[in-house]
Amino acid sequence: MKYNVDEKGYYGEFGGAYIPEMLYPNVEELRQNYLKVMAEPEFKKEFDQLLKDYVGRPSPLYFAKRLSKKYNTKIYLKREDLNHTGAHKINNTIGQILMAKRLGKNRIIAETGAGQHGVATATVCALMGLECIVYMGEIDIARQAPNVARMKMLGATVVPATSGSKTLKDATNEAIRDWINNPVDTHYIIGSVVGPHPYPDMVARFQSVVSEEIKWQLKDHLGRSQPDYIIACVGGGSNAAGAYYHFLDTTDVKLIAVEAAGLGVDSGESAATSVLGKEGIIHGSKTLLMQTNDGQITEPYSISAGLDYPGVGPMHAHLYKSGRAEFISITDDQAMKAGLELCQLEGIIPAIESAHALAVFKNKSFKPDDLIVLSLSGRGDKDLETYINHFNLA
């Protein structure tokens, strides 16, 4: 079994490019060029340099001593939260902005849910002096005011998506429509390992720096090049794809994907796509998605705005269906408690997305000598208000 993408853009039966003809030239241009561009020494050099000097990579691989003690196992945290802009998202936007420049594009569009990818895109557009338009659901704009302000400070135009359910999936639809309307000068920076091929593969490759570093950092720390487990949260799945990437075919490294159960998988308020989803097409990709029996895409729920996507990247759909990764659903409440626990044990305030991954330790037991790497995908500053409300901290 092969777990990475094949030459046609599929992960097993998932993936592909189910796009209207209007998008074909844009997507085809990217498909024909992305591997070639990424292989250019000049491109690599510029990408690596920016990751180092601008993003602050490599991100530390930190042995969480007190957390490990509490759960009687060995836990290392991959500190993507320490990246510039506070999450792993910037790895991808740096890569894609360089790609856009190589392809001669001068106008950048992006979708955003909570605003993290929007901020990461606005940041690299400011860095490169390119026009930036971010589509964001009207409802998300209202509930994520600080990130809207950040994007505006960085010079981006934030356009409200007022169609459908007015959240992330609709913002993605609007970005796709913009791309249809502007097929020549515009590059669409998708924020996760979703969308039509080659996006899932391209984004996974840009994020793969995470597992590349994990490999040599483990060697430095422990003289080993692989952990026993990698744990990551999955919304669309880009931080998980990055953390898994170089271990996909090393099957003695066990992969754990953590989805948001919201109020519980059976509550009707959930984002656990692997449990609740069925095979179908969303945003140009064949994958698992939450939908009605009639094939209408439904609105997911999670306390974490970064995990409430109704689909999941095709790589993850394949990892789920093939059994390569174990999928675990974590509720809002479990995640919030795990987030607070990390604050108190390690002095790190995690993003609520990452807190879902941390909640695995209360729900699954590991052996004392298991070596676990957990992708701490983002920092919790953006989530303070949610933490305050949840724990009555004010």
Binding site for other proteins (CB under 8 A): 16-22, 24-25, 163-164, 169-170, 173, 176-177, 180-184, 278-284, 291, 293-298
CA distance 119 to 111: 10
Write down the catalytic residue from 89, 166, 169, 382.
Answer: 89
CB of 24: closest distance to other proteins in angstroms? 7
- Report yes or no: 353 and 308 within 8 Å, Cβ to Cβ: no
Nearest Cα residue to 281 out of 17, 64, 32: 17
Strand partners, 46: none
- Measured from the CB atom, the residue of 172 and 386 that comes closer to other proteins is 172
- Measured from the CB atom, the residue of 118 and 310 that comes closer to other proteins is 310
User: Which H helix or E strand runs over 89?
Assistant: helix 89-102
- Measured from the CB atom, the residue of 18 and 387 that comes closer to other proteins is 18
278 catalytically annotated:
no
Strand 131-137 relative to strand 107-112: parallel, antiparallel, unpaired? parallel
Write down the catalytic residue from 111, 341, 346, 353.
Answer: 111
CB of 183: closest distance to other proteins in angstroms? 5
- Measured from the CB atom, the residue of 4 and 165 that comes closer to other proteins is 165
CA distance 177 to 182: 9
Strand 278-282 relative to strand 285-289: parallel, antiparallel, unpaired? antiparallel
CB of 296: closest distance to other proteins in angstroms? 4
Provide the terminal-to-terminal Cα distance of the chain, rounded to the nearest Å.
Answer: 52
321 catalytically annotated:
no
CB of 30: closest distance to other proteins in angstroms? 14
User: Which H helix or E strand runs over 272?
Assistant: none
CB of 309: closest distance to other proteins in angstroms? 13
How many of the other CB atoms lie within 10 Å of CB of 142? 12
- Measured from the CB atom, the residue of 91 and 167 that comes closer to other proteins is 167
Strand partners, 216: none
Write down the catalytic residue from 174, 211, 377, 382.
Answer: 377
CA distance 126 to 157: 12
Nearest Cα residue to 175 out of 112, 103, 263: 112
101 catalytically annotated:
no
* Residues acting as catalytic residues: 89, 111, 377
